[in-house]
Amino acid sequence: MLDKTWRMERLSKKVERLSEENRQLKKTISDFEAKNKYLEEKEKILEKTQKEYEQIIEEAHECQRDYIKLLQQVKELRKKVKKEK
């Protein structure tokens, strides 16, 4: 009888320990899931920002090309003015 009682106590303690470990693991999983969701949201923001950045760079290149064309036109107009003088 004592052997069964002692064995039941041991099993009960083991169940308590395993239950606590299970709670800890569930909390860890929950924390990881929350962190994963946060990182996914940040990744979406980063992708959006990257697309906006690429668009700005493209617009800057267009402005640069337009500026070069304008400089060439100014140069040609100056030559024209010099010839007319």
pLDDT bracket for residue 1 (50, 70, 90): low
Rounded Cα–Cα distance for residues 56 and 63 (Å): 10
85 has a pLDDT exceeding 80: no
- 5-59: pLDDT as tens digits: 888 999 999 999 999 999 999 999 999 999 999 999 999 999 999 999 999 999 9
The residue among 82 and 65 whose pLDDT is bigger is 65
Rounded Cα–Cα distance for residues 8 and 3 (Å): 9
- Measured at the CA of 40, the angle between CA 37 and CA 46, to 5 degrees, comes to 145
**What is the structure's pLDDT at 35?**
98
Q: What is the pTM of this model?
A: 0.60
